[in-house]
Amino acid sequence: MLQENNLNLLVNFILSNSKNIKKFSDRFSIDSRSIKFGQVFISLDEDKLKNHKNIKHAVKNGASAFVSQFTYVRKDINTIIPFLISKDIKYIYYKLFFRDLLHYDHKPKVIGITGTDGKTSTTLLLAQALSSCNKKVGVISSEGSGLFPSLKKNNYTTPTIDIIYKYYEKYLSKKCDYIIIECSSQGLHQGRVNGINFDYSLITNIYSDHLDYHENLNNYIKSKLLIIDQSKSVILNHDSSILRKIKLSKYKGIKFNFISNKINKNKNIIKSSVYLDASKLKNFNYYSILFIQIFMKLENYKKDIIIKCIRNLKPLAGRRQIIKTKNKGTFIIDYAHTIQSYENIYNDFISNETITTLFGCGGDRDETKREITGKIVDKFSSFIIITEDNSRTEEFNMIVKKILNGIKKKHKYKIIESRKKALDYLFKNSKHDDLNFILGKGNEDYLLKNNCEVRHNDIVYLKQLIYKYEN
């Protein structure tokens, strides 16, 4: 009741201080950088200094009033505009965005997809499968947002709630059959999808990741599982040891289904062989295929339709993408950047061919992964090329030093900082029967270095090399 009263107080404050703006969602903003003249600024940062800085920025850009969880005096902000102190602002602000959506009668099915690995692939492949059934699908993902397949790039995997709302409204107005939202752990933790009721949520797996943000594995798991409380039905990967241990009894009124690629006597687990043997589809993450099978089955699609949809799926760029050449062997480009994703891709593609791996590790991120990743690459590779991969503000040599702690084949690696030069070296030295892994960047169009985006795409550059030397 208290939150509801505070919400009403907040609504009235916004209405009173943002006149001559017709649409309610246009009356306020949570981004000080894009605030427009006459809008009310809602400051959500939990750090008081950053909160203070954002408010001053918003006031300078034309905010008519502001809302904060911290108490301020006039001299702190140096402004005469009205302000409201709301201690529970971070718990109620998201409800503001959906006031304009109440008049829509159309109700699409909303799907949230999260997990450590495979969430982007599952999101895009599911959208592809549903689209092939003549369904209109709205997507919000790390690969972009929009009406599938016309996606516009995002800055984040899960955008802030104001951006999500704009897409959400668009999808309602276009009468989409489905809305699929890829949910990162940070996005869930920061409440970016709060207020959205998911008809289904799919959790692909949970492994240790993003500990630079979450500090420990337990916090990371809690963030991922937040999606369950917002869902009517949940599909879980039973082969993930962490997901297998979830206490389902504490979730009341939520339907659970499990997928597994293993033989299991549990009747609640839907076997991988429902319609197709997904493990043979090496172009895809086979768990993505399992999720699609089960989701479409739960949505009452006919068996022959499901089979047709999956068989007609096209591989995703930079996701287990296989490029074969005339004389330089085979190249597999993948976005793999977690320990588990490295292990999975080697296990799925292992062969008798000579294996070379080109990879790096991100800077300003979890340092513990570097040595372990080095060990995995060392185990499966005949030769290793260590190169840059979003070093951000960290020195490349410091990243390499930690990677080398995991590599025993000291005479079988080469360090080339420039990713383009590393790809040059890989291609020129590759032979007809070689198998080459290019890991970490997938289809990304940039490298993050010294807080700047440097344009680069592994796929584009490799194709340029093929054209140059084989045509």
- Predicted confidence at residue 73, as pLDDT, reads 61
Contacts 24+ apart (CB under 8 A), 39-46: 39/63, 39/64, 40/13, 40/14, 40/64, 40/65, 40/66, 40/67, 41/65, 41/66, 41/67, 42/66, 42/67, 42/89, 42/93, 43/67, 43/68, 43/69, 44/89, 44/90, 44/93, 46/90
- Predicted confidence at residue 348, as pLDDT, reads 85
Comparing 173-187, 251-265, 275-289, the range with the smallest average pLDDT is 275-289
Q: How far apart are CA 329 and CA 332, in angstroms?
A: 10
Q: Count CB-CB contacts under 10 A for residue 43.
A: 24
Portion of the chain with pLDDT greater than 90, in percent: 65
Which of 425, 421, 441 is CA-nearest to residue 361?
441
Domain with CATH 3.40.1190.10 in the chain: 104-311
Single-letter code of the amino acid located at 256: F
- Predicted confidence at residue 94, as pLDDT, reads 85
Reply yes or no on whether the pLDDT at 17 is more than 80.
yes
Reply yes or no on whether the pLDDT at 273 is more than 60.
no
Q: Which residue has the tokens 């340092």?
A: 367
- Predicted confidence at residue 360, as pLDDT, reads 97
Question: What is 2-98's CATH topology?
Answer: 3.40.1390
- Predicted confidence at residue 130, as pLDDT, reads 97
Average pLDDT value for residue range 162-174: 92
Average pLDDT value for residue range 83-105: 84
Q: Cα dist. 24→3, 81, 353 in Å?
A: 20, 20, 61
Domain with CATH 3.90.190.20 in the chain: 321-470
Concatenating the DSSP letter of every residue in 380-398 gives H-SEEEE--S--BTS-HHH
Average pLDDT value for residue range 31-38: 91
Per-residue pLDDT band at 155 (split at 50, 70, 90): confident
- Predicted confidence at residue 47, as pLDDT, reads 87
- Provide, for the chain, the percentages of residues in helix, strand and coil under a 3-state DSSP scheme, each rounded to the nearest 5: 40, 20, 40
Average pLDDT value for residue range 375-402: 96
Q: Count CB-CB contacts under 10 A for residue 245.
A: 9
Comparing 52-66, 68-82, 104-118, 360-374, the range with the smallest average pLDDT is 68-82
Question: What is 321-470's CATH topology?
Answer: Protein-Tyrosine Phosphatase; Chain A (3.90.190)
Single-letter code of the amino acid located at 131: S
Q: How far apart are CA 149 and CA 137, in angstroms?
A: 9
Domain with CATH 3.40.1390.10 in the chain: 2-98
Reply yes or no on whether the pLDDT at 266 is more than 60.
no
Reply yes or no on whether the pLDDT at 278 is more than 70.
no
**What's domain 104-311's superfamily in CATH?**
Mur-like, catalytic domain (3.40.1190.10)
